[in-house]
Amino acid sequence: MSEPEGLEFLPEADTDIKLLFVLLHGVGGTPQHLVPLAEALRAAFPAAAILVPAGFEPYDSAPSGRQWFSARGIDEDNRPARVAQAMPALVEYVRAAQARFGLLQSDTALAGFSQGAIMALEAVQAHDGLAGRVLAFSGRYARLPKVAPHYTTIHLLHGADDAVMNVSYAQTAQAWLDSLHGDCTIDVASKVGHELHPALVQRAIERLQTCVPLRSWEAALGLNQTPPSGETLH
């Protein structure tokens, strides 16, 4: 069976590429599942290159689909090791894309859904500054970090009624990062489950367009305090 191909959404040929988005699907998913997110980002950021790779492993619980790491028999103890094993290939992919388009790490955003969100969050923990932004939809950390990334702004987006990845994971992560003086926002959509809901996609775009990174905010104002964090969507 041939390897599934990823998707690419590139600007018009005469447009200088200024941003890079790498979108990571959930376990058992495919790049096609993230097309609505890719199209929304493309409309909002016409000078961005948007890459949607297929998970680097075949899904081991169904005849089709891809995964970043196996979820069979997964628990709190073995999850970090599985993520760590999968990480080098993803980091290599992101760095190759940055080199391809001549973009800096600060010009890069990682966006993931569910298992893809885990990979995005852990990528900037393993390599601080790999991306300037992370959009984590319906995700969690493999393990809460000991330190917050200094060069990455993290946006947590979750459904209040998520029965697969409970919203408490996002709420705990936001509070934990805040305690570490990390740069993080959280948005929770009421009556939304484990899905890439349009309300969360729109909120993610608003965050990208309006949220000044904490490191820039503090440098400009000369203050050692944090601006207001996230809010709840209704």
| Residues catalogued as catalytic | 114, 162, 194
- Taking each helix axis from N to C end, the angle separating 79-101 and 115-126, rounded to the nearest 10 degrees, works out to 80
d(CA 92, CA 181): 28
Helix H or strand E segment including 35: helix 35-44
Find out whether 205 and 48 touch, Cβ atoms under 8 Å.
no
Q: List, in sequence order, every beta strand (DSSP E) within the chain.
A: 7-9, 19-24, 48-52, 57-58, 66-67, 108-113, 133-137, 153-159, 184-189, 231-233
Contact 33, 39 (CB under 8 A): no
Name the pairing type of β-strands 66-67 and 57-58. Answer: antiparallel
Cα–Cα distance, 80 to 59 (Å, whole number): 19
* Phi, psi for residue 81 in degrees, rounded to 5: -65, -40
- Cα–Cα distance for residue pair 43/94, rounded to 1 Å: 22
* Tokens representing residue 224 in the block: 């050692």
